[in-house]
Each structure stands twice: as C-alpha cells, then as structure tokens.
C-alpha cells in the first residue's frame, strides 16, 4: 500500500542546477580552479560540502577556508534564487503534487539542499507538503537512506509505504538501501536502478504512476 511520495527538489520539482553551477563557477574562477558545466553534472544531488570537495579535487585547504568558500558560493546562490517564481516549477510537478494531496496520499520533500524553505516558498508549493527533510535534517547524506527515512518517520510511515522520486543516481541508491520503492527521472545510465523510469513529470498522472509501480515487480 502506497501512503506517501517523497520528492527530491532540484531536478525533480524545479531546476536550480543552473544556479548551483553559476555559484560554483564564480567561486572556482575566483580561486583559479578549472570547473566546467560537465563537472557540474557530477554534483547532481550531492550536498554542499561534498560538492566543494569534488571541485577542489586533490587540492588541500584549511577547514576555515573551506567553510568560507561554502559560504561564498551559497551567497552567490542565494542571490540567484531570489529570481525564482512559481514559473520555475518543472512541467507536471505542481499538478502531480496537487493530485496526490487531493487523494489523501501524503507528499514529503527529501532534498540535500539547506535552502529548501526559501525555494519552496518562492515556488508556492510549501502547503502541499506534509513533511520536509532537507540538508539540515540528517548528518549522513545520500546515498545513505537517512534523509528519506527521516521523511517517512515524520509521516509515521515505513519505507515500504513510501515512494521516492529522484533524478540523481545517489538518490536512487539511497531509496534502494532504505527499502523504498523509487521513480527515477532521467536517462537510464543515471537512474536505471529505479523501479519506474520516466523522462520527467510532464503529463504524469497518479493513477498511471501507481499502476507502473504495481507492475514493476518490486
């Protein structure tokens, strides 16, 4: 019995990847570190500190400098996301959230981002969620299942009763290791381990999604 959907934010409900890219790019340029759009693809769903570590590669810096770099990048990001409006919801996202909400199935958010409250407020979807798990909720980030387990706990549900919707390989890994069913959005090379694979949420209806999950053999 499916009682809840746990949605990732970036890459599922909205696309803030471009803003993350511009923030990291500005920091990297200032520090004289090479960083391309292709490099940025590897940061999909990866938390802030781990993202910086991937950018710095083998370069070593004192902890104080690392903290300052994370803060600088986040300040650039915060300036970019001031532009976010409900128009920035990805196609089909709000319709699906509303449909789920209306049937009494729960909606939760499970995102690695520490900027979730600001982003969902600007997108105008805050009231559609029954629980929120974000970058402040747990220590261990995806691919650990902790974030999604935290969301399920808040709803008083087990992982077997929840479906995770994710665009990142690390997010699908997290869902699998926590015993959640999953819907992967994007190419098979990235989300191939999900129970159901879709390009995105455009035109996705709850009945069709539940039926695909039922037939996925999980």
Question: x/- binding map, residues 148-187, to Mg ion, per CB under 5 A?
Answer: -------------------xx-------------------
Closer residue to Mg ion (CB): 168 or 196 = 168
Peptide bond into 143 cis (omega under 30): yes
What 3-state DSSP class applies to 3? coil
Query: In degrees rounded to 5, what are phi and psi of residue 2?
Result: -90, 120
Closer residue to Mg ion (CB): 31 or 39 = 39
Pick what 113 binds: ligand B16, Mg ion, none; C-beta below 5 to 8 Å, kind-dependent.
ligand B16
Say whether residue 159 binds ligand B16 (CB under 6 A).
no
Say whether residue 138 binds ligand B16 (CB under 6 A).
no
Instruction: Note the helical H segments in 16-145.
Output: 17-31, 37-41, 48-56, 63-81, 93-103, 116-123
Say whether residue 8 binds ligand B16 (CB under 6 A).
yes
Work out which of 19, 45, 165, 172 binds ligand B16, going by CB under 6 A: 45
Please list, in sequence order, all residues whose beta carbon lies within 8 angstroms of the beta carbon of residue 75, skipping any fewer than 6 positions away: none
Say whether residue 48 binds ligand B16 (CB under 6 A).
yes
Among positive and negative, which fits the CA dihedral 191, 192, 193, 195?
positive
Asked if residues 114 and 134 have their Cβ atoms less than 8 Å apart, the reply is yes
Instruction: Establish whether 15 is a catalytic residue.
Output: no
Residues near ligand B16, by CB under 6 A: 8-11, 20, 43-48, 51, 74, 111-115, 135, 168
């Amino acid at each position: 019995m499916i009682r809840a959907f746990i949605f990732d934010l970036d890459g599922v409900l909205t696309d803030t990847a471009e803003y993350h890219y511009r923030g990291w790019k500005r920091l990297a340029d200032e520090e004289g570190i090479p960083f391309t759009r292709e490099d940025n693809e590897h940061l999909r769903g990866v938390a802030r500190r781990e993202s910086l570590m991937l950018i710095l590669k083998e370069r070593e810096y004192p902890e104080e400098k690392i903290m300052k770099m994370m803060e600088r990048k986040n300040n650039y990001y915060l300036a970019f996301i001031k532009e976010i409006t409900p128009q920035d919801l990805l196609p089909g996202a709000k319709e699906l959230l509303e449909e789920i909400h209306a049937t009494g199935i729960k909606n939760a958010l499970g995102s690695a981002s520490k900027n979730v409250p600001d982003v969902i407020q600007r997108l105008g979807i805050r009231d559609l969620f029954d629980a929120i798990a974000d970058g402040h909720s747990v220590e261990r980030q995806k691919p650990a299942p902790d974030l999604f387990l935290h969301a399920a706990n808040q709803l008083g549900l087990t992982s077997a009763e929840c479906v995770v919707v994710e665009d990142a390989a690390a997010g699908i890994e997290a869902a699998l290791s926590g015993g959640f069913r999953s819907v992967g959005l994007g190419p098979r090379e990235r989300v191939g381990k999900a129970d159901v694979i879709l390009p995105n949420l455009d035109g996705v209806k709850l009945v069709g999604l539940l039926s695909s999950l039922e037939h996925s053999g999980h």
